[in-house]
Amino acid sequence: MTTHSPRVFSGMQPTGNLTLGNYLGALVNFVALQEREEFERLYCVVDLHAITTAQEPAALARATREVAAAYIASGLDPKRSIIFNQSRVSAHAELGWIFTCVARMGWLNRMTQFKEKAGKHKENASVGLFSYPTLMAADILAYRATHVPVGEDQKQHLELTRDIAAKFNNDFNVPDFFPLPEPLIQPDTARIMSLRDGKNKMSKSDPSDMSRINLTDDADLIAQKIRKAKTDPEPLPSEPDGLAERPEAQNLIGIFAALSGVSVTEVLAEYGGQGFGAFKPALADLTVAKIAPIGDEMRRLMETPDEIDAVLADGAERAAALARPILREIYDTLGLIGGGSA
Ligand code: TYM
């Protein structure tokens, strides 16, 4: 039985444009959780994670404000959710180091995302890219967060977070010091796929911009990308079972269902038997109607970066106030006399 009060933490990297995958896989859920009064919510722009790969400083600063703008434009209210950037609260870096000493090499060696990101250049990857999941564990556990809304690709990192929490609790004989945080993954939108290849995840790092919808794409570009999305020659099936082995069709139907807030079964009841020629224009209209206003609002917010900075500063202060007493207990538990910045 956990004694920890319900607290949500999640984050996104400021490494280029956010995509429809980030939006449907995570951001929609961030916003939905605002209606759950039992939770306290922290939503972070994880700029320290971004520097695990090379970033141009001015672009990083801009992307950090842009992710904050996306949060707000999608419906996060800075009064009801704590919105801040990671580097502003030193608890993340401090606890990140401590967890680097708790996690085992073998655990990190198993992380599939490092293998994907480092590719053939493992020897040349930063040490930070390798130890990245320990910082992610620190993000979550610095607040003793109990629930973490994410897409499917973060599941393994969440398992590592739980392993770190359990090992700390056990090694220092402090049962239940950290909660074992639960991932909140929405099954229908856990993995939004590329528009060019239904077997690959939609990603901001895909070399082809046509593979993704960016939240900042304008209406014409969104419609063009949907029109050109890869499909197969068959008409749409009338039942979800008929989508098996048809990854592109499954992805586009899933996007339609998520954006319109209805089930895949209902979408197929309407479009089953029709070709993509009929379905794609409806999907394009729906995507434009839902996503283009978010991009417009992001652009409007980016015109007054001072206001975004004020939100981030206020959020960081509130976040730091939550983390400070927890960090104090952590230093004491480890025997680090007077440890910590505050
Ligand atoms: P990041 O920045 O890659 O992605 C942010 C969130 O978007 C989700 N996502 C997707 N969901 C469905 N389909 C897709 N195609 C898709 N692409 C991205 C991701 O699963 C994620 O939820 N390590 C994290 C950031 C992080 C974090 C944390 C998250 C750092 N600390 C603490 C939660 C808690 C990352 O790189 O996400």
Report the CATH number at residue 235: 1.10.240.10
The token pair at 181 is 């945080």
What CATH number does the domain containing 316 carry?
Answer: 3.40.50.620
| Judgement on whether residues 287 and 326 belong to the same structural domain of the protein | no
Widest pairwise Cα distance in the chain: 70
**What residue's CA is closest to ligand 1, atom 6?**
22
What's the pLDDT tens digit per position in 291-338? 999 999 999 999 999 999 999 999 999 999 999 999 999 999 999 999
Determine the pLDDT at residue 92: 98
| Judgement on whether residues 112 and 181 belong to the same structural domain of the protein | yes
What's the pLDDT tens digit per position in 4-21? 999 999 999 999 889 999
**What residue's CA is closest to ligand 1, atom 14?**
21
What global pTM score does this model have? 0.97
Ligand 1 atom index nearest CA of 15: 2
| Judgement on whether residues 53 and 185 belong to the same structural domain of the protein | yes
Residue whose entry in the numeric block shows the structure tokens 């570009």:
221
Total domain count for the chain?
A: 2
Distances (CA, A) of 224 to 10, 220, 287: 32, 6, 11
| Judgement on whether residues 171 and 76 belong to the same structural domain of the protein | yes
Closest to 151 in 3D by CA, of 186, 123, 108: 186
Determine the pLDDT at residue 341: 65
Is 198 a domain residue? no
Determine the pLDDT at residue 120: 83
Distances (CA, A) of 335 to 6, 327, 331, 338: 28, 12, 6, 9
Q: Which mutation among 81, 147, 153 tests ligand 1's pocket best, with the greatest number of atoms within 8 A of CB?
A: 153
**What residue's CA is closest to ligand 1, atom 27?**
11
Is 148 a domain residue? yes
Is 340 a domain residue? no
Q: Which mutation among 19, 46, 64, 186 tests ligand 1's pocket best, with the greatest number of atoms within 8 A of CB?
A: 46
63 alpha-carbon distance from chain centroid: 15
Residue numbers of the domain that contains 272 = 209-300
Q: What is the mean pLDDT of the chain?
A: 96
Cite the active site residues. Answer: 117, 201, 204
**Confidence grade of residue 2 (pLDDT, cut at 50, 70, 90):** low
